[in-house]
Every structure is written in C-alpha cells, then in structure tokens.
Amino acid sequence: MRTHDVKEILIEKDTIAQRVDELVDDIAASTGSTNLVVIGILKGSFMFLADLMRSFHRHGVHPRIDFLTLSSYGSGTTSSGQVAIIHDIREDIEGADILLVDDILDTGRTLVFTKKLLLDRAAKSVRTCVLLDKKAHRSVEFEADYAGFAIDDHFVVGYGLDYDNLYRELPHIAKVNFR
C-alpha cells in the first residue's frame, strides 16, 4: 500500500443523503413494476444500497433484494480488467425488473458483464444505478440509468468504497491523496 491520506472530503454525507432521495424519486416515478428485484454488487454497494432501500419506503415500493459478489480490483487502485462471480444471487429473477446497484461506474466492465448475465437469465429488464460515475475512465461504452454524482478520474473511498478493503466505513466520499 502506498503512503496516502484520506483527509480531503469530496462529497459530504448530507449531500449524499439528499441525492439518494432524488435518485429514488426518479426510480420510483419510472417503475410501476410489481416484480422489482434490487441487486447490489458487493462489497462496494452495501451502504448505498441500504440507504436506497430506506428511501424506497417513502414511496411504498416493496422490492425483493439480493446481492452478487464480484471479484474486485484486487489490492490497489487499478482494475484487473477481469470480472468473476464469487457469490451468486439466490432469487429467481426470470421475468423480473432488476435494479442493479453499484458504488461506482469506472471502466464499465463490471456493469456490462453483470447486466448481460442477468438478461441472459431471462430478467425482463435491467436498469443500473450507481452513486458515482467516472465518465472519463470508460474502456467500454456504457451509461448508467441513474447516477448520483459525476466525478473526475481520481481514486475515492468511503460510503462503501475501499482502498485495499479499508475506509468503507467513512460516511462521506473522500479522495485518496498519494504522497
């Protein structure tokens, strides 16, 4: 692990909370589904997904929920480019409308891989929702249906996101500054 600090806050906790509610307002307004399954990609999405779910309560939406654990960056800050399933979902998603949730859209490989996987398994629709979007770092063409904040190409942690599996507990998003 390189020498670094995480003192610089990029997005405050209250700003995140407000944006989560706005995202859920958008999602609820465009979803009349009675067969909605929210699928979180672990580990990074756990905090975002929990807040999204609490916000769904305001709209009386009752989604099923499941999690998919994918191989991540490994240790470090650069993507391996490989996506592999470590733990699969258990819910039956045939004919279901899926909301696929991840912490951040970076190269795009994770969501391209996962969306295809779920459609191949006969999900009726798959929409994607990310908290953060590093638009400048795509290696495959992909846009999320719902994105919280567009950010510059800088490594960030907190609110579920990690550096070497650390800092996920931060309630805000911080920049990792290397020295």
Q: What amino acid positions are annotated as catalytic residues?
A: 106
Decide which of ligand IMP, Mg ion, none touches 97; Cβ closer than 5 to 8 Å per partner kind: none
Strand bridging mode 64-70 / 85-87: antiparallel
Return the structure tokens found at 144: 């999320």
Q: Using CB under 5 A, count the residues that bind Mg ion.
A: 1
Q: Which does 79 bind (CB under 5 to 8 A by kind): ligand IMP, Mg ion, none?
A: ligand IMP
* Residues 132 and 149 sit within 8 Å (Cβ to Cβ): yes
- Please state the closest distance from residue 12 (CB atom) to ligand IMP, in A: 17
Options 10-18, 27-35, 41-49, 124-132: segment touching Mg ion (CB under 5 A): 41-49
The least distance separating ligand IMP from the CB of residue 155, rounded to whole angstroms, comes to: 4
Query: Angle, nearest 10°, between helix axes 13-29 and 46-56?
Result: 60
- Comparing CB distances to ligand IMP, the nearer of 33 and 127 is 127
Region for 136 from its dihedrals, namely left if φ exceeds 0, alpha if ψ lies in -120 to 50, beta otherwise: alpha
User: Residue 65, Cα to own-chain centre: how many angstroms?
Assistant: 14
Task: Report the alpha-carbon distance of residue 97 to residue 33 in Å, rounded.
Answer: 7
Determine the residue with CB nearest Mg ion. Answer: 44
* 35: partner contacted, choices ligand IMP, Mg ion, none (Cβ within 5-8 A by kind): none
Name the nearest CA neighbour of 20 among 50, 65, 42.
Answer: 50
User: Which residues of the shown chain bind ligand IMP in the complex (CB under 6 A)?
Assistant: 44, 72-73, 79, 102-110, 155-157, 161-162
Among 6, 20, 39, 44, binds Mg ion (CB under 5 A): 44
Decide: is 160 part of the binding site for Mg ion (CB under 5 A).
no
Strand 173-178 relative to strand 4-11, pairing: antiparallel
User: For strand 125-133 and strand 156-157, is the pairing parallel, antiparallel, or unpaired?
Assistant: unpaired
Minimum distance from CB of 110 to Mg ion (Å)?
Answer: 7
Q: Tell me the closest approach of the beta carbon of residue 74 to Mg ion, in angstroms.
A: 11
Judged by the rule CB under 5 A, the positions of this chain that interact with Mg ion are: 44
